[in-house]
Chain A
Amino acid sequence: MHSIPGRRLIMALFLIFLLLPIYWLVNMSFKTNAEIVSTMTLWPHAPTLQHYKRIFTDESWYSGYINSLEYVILNTIISISVALPAAYAFSRYRFLGDKHLFFWLLSNRMAPAAVYALPFFNLYSAIGLFDTPWAVALAHCIFNVPLAVWILEGFVSGVPREIDETAFLDGYSFPRFFIRILVPLIASGIGVAAFFCFMFSWVELLLARTLTSVQAKPIAAIMTRTVSAAGMDWGLLAAAGVLTIIPGALVIWFVRNYIARGFALGRV
């Protein structure tokens, strides 16, 4: 009743469609460059770890991963901590300009990164944050903070109001109520919001590349640079790509039970 005929086949075909290009990348990362260019092989005939070894031993490569993780984590912490009180306010109270403010936030989530690339470059150069993880972390707030507010508002609204009232009657102060009662109640929502902040900060390249030059260069930018400089080192490129998929895959595994609800932004 719930589903459609041939659903197993449809699902299987779609999953194959999703996994095939990823498989091809993994496959290439284990081949030698000679094998990649010379013959068409469906699996590596002479499997090699040379590309991975190169990435893990060459600092200009692995520092890219550390830089990326640094600003992603910074951004997630900033986004969640400023979004939590705001989500509570939007969910519980009506105040002057609340709807306009909410729309303004939402519109920032939709603003094209390309528009902000140049002004951000000027802004962060002017205040001396250029080429630090802070610049990228703050820049990514423009789309992650609104998103976090949006998701968390949905989850806070799912907490019955009576709980607030009971807590205040019991003599809880607002900060104590917030930390001791509300935050544990919406823990899964915070997890989901953190997942999304992580995700969107991790996948973004344009701003991250524009705001860094040497010290804080993200892995994504290192990949594009090295490819154009060293000709086409396909195996190395594929290995670097595979390694960027891993953090995402790990994070998905942790939130797998909340994924569906999370993607609906807590609003089903």
Chain B
Amino acid sequence: MDKTINQKAWFLVLPVFLVVAFSAVLPLMTVVNYSMQDTFGNNQFFWNGVGWFKELLDPSTDLGGRFLASLGRNLFFSLVILAIEVPLGIVVALSMPRQGWTVAACLVTLALPLLIPWNVVGTIWQIFGRPDIGLLGYTLNAMGIDYNYVSNAVDAWVTVIVMDVWHWTSLVALLCYAGLKSIPEAYYQAAQIDGASRWAVFKAIQLPKMNRVLLIAVLLRFMDSFMIYTEPFVVTGGGPGNSTTFVSIELVKIALGQFDLGKAAALSLVYNLIILIVCWIFYTVMTNAGAERKVQAESEPAAVPKPSASLKPVTALKPKEGVV
């Protein structure tokens, strides 16, 4: 399906372009503007050049120290939750029932945490983990484990991570489930004929088919955990001390708490730049993977005479592909 070149398509894209430009480009220009200036209040600004950026990237200053520390915490957090959620999500997707009403029941239950407002997610875990009135905190303390997420940094981290796993593993699981559903039955039959083990089936059929959705899952999870704000803010408020202060929390503190426009703007730009770079890497990998698949799909039927007028090419019956 080759796309035709048509510059008039811009008219179709124009509304989207305008709406997003209004809410993305205009505010970003304000940020760029602020990031180069300093203010003594009263709306008097003076030029500060790249001063804020220098300070931001220098760990010996207050601003730089806070930024780099929160960035480190945030990266560590993102890596930990990816390391837990991706394998767990795959396992849950593989455990989905095959048919019957249980499928719908499981899907709805899985999706439930995703539709709870983020501050309510925070509230749920804030209550659930409290040693005095929460089931989790109470039970742990009754078992003799001294657990208190308000005063103990490790407990706060564990709480925030478990909360994120609770909140978002379903997304990974649902994505993987969608990938698994797209595998034609014939693949499994072929594997059975070949006597492939369960592990071989997973490695040779299921994992390759999940590649694309897994990439989306990792992208979404990395990005969303990298800009996490509401949930840890509600549960721990960034504390105890600064132990769970992630980049967004730090940024909001500087921007809306102290109204330090220049510093906040410089931080915003660097933050955005990091996200843009990571996003670009993922996007390139994703489009390359898509292109590769297309090339594969196009080269294969060349040997077989192509059914010319049919709407759907018969690709479902290629059980040999991908089996050991």
Contacts and interface: CB of A to CB of B under 8 A. Distances in A.
Contacts of B26: 119, 123
Nearest to B290: A267
A25 B30 contact: no
28 contacts: A3-B96, A7-B95, A10-B95, A19-B109, A21-B136, A82-B19, A85-B13, A93-B4, A107-B280, A110-B223, A110-B279, A111-B275, A115-B268, A116-B24, A117-B252, A123-B30, A160-B312, A161-B1, A205-B230, A206-B248, A220-B119, A237-B123, A244-B120, A253-B108, A263-B178, A264-B178, A267-B212, A268-B181
Interface string B228-264: 0110001000000000000111011001100001001
Contacts of A110: 223, 227, 275, 279
B225 to A, nearest CB: 11
Interface stretch (B60-68, B126-134, B150-158, B297-305): B126-134
Contacts of A204: 117-118
A120 B23 contact: yes
Interface stretch (B45-53, B167-175, B316-324): B167-175
B12 A117 contact: no
Interface residues of B, number: 106
B143 to A, nearest CB: 14
Contacts of A251: 115
Nearest to B120: A241
Contacts of A160: 311-312
A261 B216 CA distance: 13
Contacts of B110: 15, 18
Given A82-B16, A108-B24, A118-B256, 8 more contacts: A11-B96, A17-B166, A36-B133, A149-B16, A244-B116, A245-B120, A260-B107, A268-B179
A118 B255 contact: yes
B12 A260 contact: no
A101 B16 CA distance: 10
A149 B276 CA distance: 19
Interface in A171-201: 199
Dominant secondary structure of chain B at its interface with chain A: helix
A78 interface: yes
A216 interface: no
A106 B255 contact: no
B258 to A, nearest CB: 11
Contact of B4 (A92, A123, A142): A92
Contacts of A117: 252, 255-256
B30 A119 contact: yes
A24 B128 contact: yes
6 smallest CB-CB distances across A and B, nearest first, come from A248-B115, A119-B27, A112-B227, A264-B178, A7-B95, A89-B12
A176 to B, nearest CB: 15
B6 A11 contact: no
A105 interface: yes
A265 B214 CA distance: 12
A93 B213 contact: no
A202 B117 contact: yes
Interface of A: 1-4, 7-8, 10-11, 14-15, 17-22, 24-25, 28, 36-37, 40, 42, 78, 81-83, 85-86, 88-90, 92-96, 98-99, 101, 103-108, 110-120, 122-123, 138-139, 141-142, 145-146, 149, 157, 160-162, 199, 202-206, 210, 219-220, 223-224, 234, 237-238, 241, 244-245, 247-249, 251-253, 256-257, 259-261, 263-265, 267-268
A3 B94 contact: yes
Nearest to B179: A268
Nearest to A204: B118
Contacts of A24: 124, 127-128, 134-135
A119 B27 CA distance: 5
A108 B15 CA distance: 16
Contacts of B249: 114
Contacts of A104: 20
Nearest to A242: B120
B133 A11 contact: no
A82 B10 CA distance: 13
B118 A21 contact: no
Contacts of B116: 22, 203, 244-245, 248
Nearest to A250: B115
B76 interface: no
Contacts of B223: 110
